[in-house]
Structure 1
Amino acid sequence: MTVKLSKSALQQLPANVAVPGYDQSGLKAGIIHFGIGNFHRAHQAVYLDDLFNAGSDHEWAIVGAGVLASDETMRQKLKEQDWLTTVVEQDSGHRTARITASMIDYLKPGETENTITRLADPEIRIVSLTITEGGYFIDPASGVFNPRHPAIVADAANIGDPKTVFGLILAGLIRRRSEGTAPYTVMSCDNIPGNGHVTSDAISGLAALVDADLARWVKDNVAFPNSMVDRITPATSDRERGMLASDFGVEDNWPVFCEPFKQWVLEDHFPTGRPALEKVGVTFVQDVAPYELMKIRILNGGHATIAYPAALMDIHFVHEAMEEPLIRGFLGKLEREEIIPVLPPVPGVTFEEYYDLIDRRFSNPKIGDTIQRLCQDGSNRQPKFILPTTADRLKAGQSITGLSLVSALWCRFCEGATDSGKPTNYLDANAERLKVEAVKAKSDPKAFLAMSDIFGDVGTSPVFEESFSRILKTLWDKGTRETLKLYLADKL
């Protein structure tokens, strides 16, 4: 027998499901969060749930906010269960389920005035975001905010009725400014180098299109702390819903399954206050950049490394890819020989130990993370997770064979079929263009590198062009498996 998740049913849940040790109705909103997806609910929401369970900071509950029409689906699913979420942590020797109650409301997408009014509430002192790497209106190659994007131009022309996340945040700041309320801190929790700086550029850039004085006020008064966030959190499917019901007796519309490991490193810049997250494991630092760079290049770069060879070899799960010696060997060799050597030191961290941790996390058979998820949004992820390392090594005159192989594998994947001929279906804002250029690249590799908005200066490097072209030809001639063998034998 299963129990349908709701606030009234909490005491009916099985004993092996942990329930909140606080009364959700006693919480007060202090944070509005855009992007109520699985990662947020397994990360920021869990840290706050830990804090509330410790009897602290009950004035910092989360109010979710939707922007896209698709956000309404999540809102309705969570509303049906009183904004509660079941979080299941698991690895090969560990599985627990807990109910989190740190979110107390979710603003309806499209109700702009209501959202702006809530943003203007003096009790809201932090606005946070997990809107994915592709949601920041930045040029992928340069990382610079694009003020000419049609959605940004439209918001600037009608800032009183904005349609984007950044338009809403700016409209809330404008309202607070006019009412004499201190601005909230804007806290990005996305995997972007310098995510606080990127968010500042987006909001300041939009403000500059509205009014130069407003842009100066934003830069002078609004805090944008950088952060590094980490937890592997796959998408939810009927598989996870079924496992939760059969193993824990809970019916949850949208549970979150994740690994036990989580990490959050955050710059301590919150002028109007913040929850005492250091009590529950968040690391506050003056400069998050070294931690962030380590994670983005070793972990996120590692995900990008294994994604495409695994997809081309028809491997479904991430842990299955790590069970394939050629892929695990490719990852280890690339990390140790090309990625780690160009990283600056991180206080208190040994890179080899950090990589060993990543290896174990990728190999976790209980997570059910899919290769398909890792293959999504390559046109945004490659310029952030792979190509900057390539650029650093090119600048230093160092070998880029493994990194060129990563880019060539991505190109080969974008052509549209695996080595066995199965279609490579993937989500990417540039999917159609990627396929067109990848097909051209089979005979003319330069065609793929000519996408300057993705490859930037790396694509014009004669050294990279030669390496990429040679390896892409090898992939087409010999296939993924044989190409990986050549790389591991130092014969590529």
Structure 2
Amino acid sequence: MENLKLNTKNLSAIGERIAIPKYSRSDIKTGIVHVGIGGFHRAHEAFYTDQLLQDESVKDWGICGVALLDFDTKIYNTLKEQDGLYTLIVKELDGTHTKRVIGAITEYLFAPENPTKVIEKMASPEVKIITLTITEGGYNYNEATKTFDFTNPLIIHDLEHPNAPKTIFGYLTQALKLRQERGLKGITIQSCDNIQGNGYMTQNMLLSYVSKAEPALVDWINENVSFPNAMVDRITPVTAAEDITHLKETSGIDDAWPVVCEPFKQWVIEDDFIAGRPAWENVGAQFVEDVVPYEKMKLSLLNAGHSVLGILGALMGYNTIDEAVNNPNIRAFLKHYMDEEVTPTLGDLEGVDLEAYKQSLLERFGNINIKDQIDRICSETSAKYPIFILPTIQSQLENKGDIGLAAFVTAAWAIYSLGTNENGDALIIKDALKQELGEKAKEAKHNPIAFLELGSVFGTLKQNPVFTKAFVNAYEDITNKNIEDNLKSINSTY
């Protein structure tokens, strides 16, 4: 079978092998600018939008993908060479692969190369929505102060060089300023990141920045920009070289960066779009008045569950999430954590079968075809912990509930931050606070509570004697015997 390079010229020939867009991409107008065109966006929002565009009457909702960081050079060049096309490979539970070419990204821009072009695109009259996947850490929120971090060197740069920004806040501010000056209608800015109240977070952090950068713009934003909350869900591991090779061997398609994902997908969105929106509900999204209960459930069960599996699995020498959750001791520990410490914090979830949801998570984590890398899950834990795990601890402490399992995971993270697993192998730690975590982890060898001194991550947790006692006990348990023996001992108490 001849290998066909994925691009517009070869699309019809590729369509004889796998599903391709049925719509004419050249007829699609750009209605959405999306910042952060990584794997998750391409498996989620771009997938939903592609499905919607199959209806040929829908022509206003093409996506302009923006690569914001220097780090994003490769994905930008790949999309440019492939005319914005990529293959989505859904790895089904039975081991089969469902493949289709996604065509919703009709434009692509590299921000470091041409900041003005990105600002102009965001300010374009045809653009009605700006969506974001900039990771939890991208919102520049300090957990200790509960405020926008103006000490960030990139933020200082943007304040001093407004026309050559490096952060999302600099870009949005200049684009919204242009929209105001040109008398354009409002726009919606929608976060697709794993943050509870992600719309509120986006609004608050942007207004904090604008109040210093362009204070005269604040009132216009309050009147003309909406920030809907949303909950997003689809496990999307990093594309492996084997995925690229397998696509070539099985379908003869030469795609430099396909996206792999699980079959499950979910998108729950607050219906607050000031300038109109795509009918994503026609392709499976759910529009609701209040997203918060769904967000809280997902962040504290799925996302926190991922972190639990990642930290414990990394220390035990596992490489993928399915390996970790299929260890019966880790699996039982995670189930106890979800049942005993998270579930009491969730309250009434109308229309949700919580037991079925938790069981589905264990099945999804255990999908042996996904092979989600543990180092991906553990990356940027310093940004994830305050969002996924800390709220559960705080709620349980307030209500005098159990926090022992969360304390054990936190202690395991302190030991993980030393940089080696139980077998003495080096861990791949990717974290903006890697140096600070490592220094505190070394101090913790003599004084475990030192690890909790990172206020931007742990807030005031160090001052709570109930948590610190559980944390110190867990730390000493882990240093005295291995993770697996500890898990067996913990599980035997339930």
TM-score (norm 2): 0.97
Partner of 1:25: 26
Q: Does 1:488 align with 2:491?
A: yes
Partner of 2:40: 39
Which sections of structure 1, spanning at least 5 residues, go unmatched? none
Partner of 1:315: 318
Q: Does 1:262 align with 2:265?
A: yes
Residue among 93, 98, 101 paired with 2:100: 98
Contact 2:187/2:224 (<8 A) preserved: no
For the residue of structure 2 that corresponds to 1:8, the secondary structure is coil
Residue among 150, 153, 160 paired with 1:150: 153
Counterpart residue type for residue 434 of structure 1: L
User: Percent identity between the aligned chains?
Assistant: 38
Query: How far does the alpha carbon of each residue in 1:295-352 deviate from its partner, in whole angstroms, 9 at most, with x for none?
Result: 0001001001111111111111111112110111111111011111211222210111
Write out aligned runs for 1:380-395 (5 A). 380-395=383-398
Query: How far does the alpha carbon of each residue in 1:107-146 deviate from its partner, in whole angstroms, 9 at most, with x for none?
Result: 1222111111111110001011101111111113455322
More displaced stretch, 450-459 vs 429-438: 450-459
Partner of 1:446: 449
Query: How far does the alpha carbon of each residue in 1:280-309 deviate from its partner, in whole angstroms, 9 at most, with x for none?
Result: 011001111111111000100100111111
Q: Does 1:220 align with 2:223?
A: yes
For the residue of structure 2 that corresponds to 1:367, the secondary structure is coil
Query: Aligned equivalents of 1:165 and 1:211: distance in 2?
Result: 15
Partner of 1:72: 73
Q: Which runs of 4+ in 1 moved over 4 A?
A: none
Write out aligned runs for 1:80-159 (5 A). 80-93=81-94, 94-110=96-112, 111-141=114-144, 143-159=146-162
Partner of 1:164: 167
Counterpart residue type for residue 380 of structure 1: A
Q: Does 1:468 align with 2:471?
A: yes
Write out aligned runs for 1:85-484 (5 A). 85-93=86-94, 94-110=96-112, 111-141=114-144, 143-484=146-487
Query: Aligned equivalents of 2:451 and 2:222: distance in 1?
Result: 38
Structure 1 residue 158 displacement after superposition: 3.2
Counterpart residue type for residue 310 of structure 1: G
For the residue of structure 2 that corresponds to 1:331, the secondary structure is helix
Contact 1:229/1:263 (<8 A) preserved: yes
Query: Aligned equivalents of 1:55 and 1:329: distance in 2?
Result: 49
Structure 1 residue 426 displacement after superposition: 1.0
Query: Aligned equivalents of 2:151 and 2:432: distance in 1?
Result: 17
Structure 1 residue 191 displacement after superposition: 0.4
Counterpart residue type for residue 485 of structure 2: E
Query: Aligned equivalents of 2:296 and 2:57: distance in 1?
Result: 32
For the residue of structure 2 that corresponds to 1:7, the secondary structure is coil
Query: Aligned equivalents of 1:67 and 1:366: distance in 2?
Result: 31
Query: How far does the alpha carbon of each residue in 1:173-217 deviate from its partner, in whole angstroms, 9 at most, with x for none?
Result: 000100000131101100011111111112111110024331232
Query: Aligned equivalents of 1:265 and 1:134: distance in 2?
Result: 22
Query: Aligned equivalents of 2:444 and 2:118: distance in 1?
Result: 46
Structure 1 residue 430 displacement after superposition: 0.6
Counterpart residue type for residue 274 of structure 2: P
Query: Aligned equivalents of 1:369 and 1:243: distance in 2?
Result: 17
Query: Aligned equivalents of 1:39 and 1:424: distance in 2?
Result: 24
Structure 1 residue 466 displacement after superposition: 0.5
Contact 1:14/1:249 (<8 A) preserved: no
Aligned length: 491
More displaced stretch, 198-207 vs 7-16: 7-16
For the residue of structure 2 that corresponds to 1:127, the secondary structure is strand
Contact 2:192/2:232 (<8 A) preserved: yes
TM-score (norm 1): 0.97
Structure 1 residue 64 displacement after superposition: 1.0
Query: Aligned equivalents of 2:150 and 2:446: distance in 1?
Result: 36
Structure 1 residue 157 displacement after superposition: 3.1
Query: How far does the alpha carbon of each residue in 1:36-66 deviate from its partner, in whole angstroms, 9 at most, with x for none?
Result: 0000000000000000113342211000112
Contact 2:309/2:334 (<8 A) preserved: yes
For the residue of structure 2 that corresponds to 1:429, the secondary structure is coil
Aligned-pair Cα RMSD in Å: 1.4
Structure 1 residue 250 displacement after superposition: 1.3
For the residue of structure 1 that corresponds to 2:10, the secondary structure is helix
For the residue of structure 1 that corresponds to 2:195, the secondary structure is coil
For the residue of structure 2 that corresponds to 1:32, the secondary structure is strand
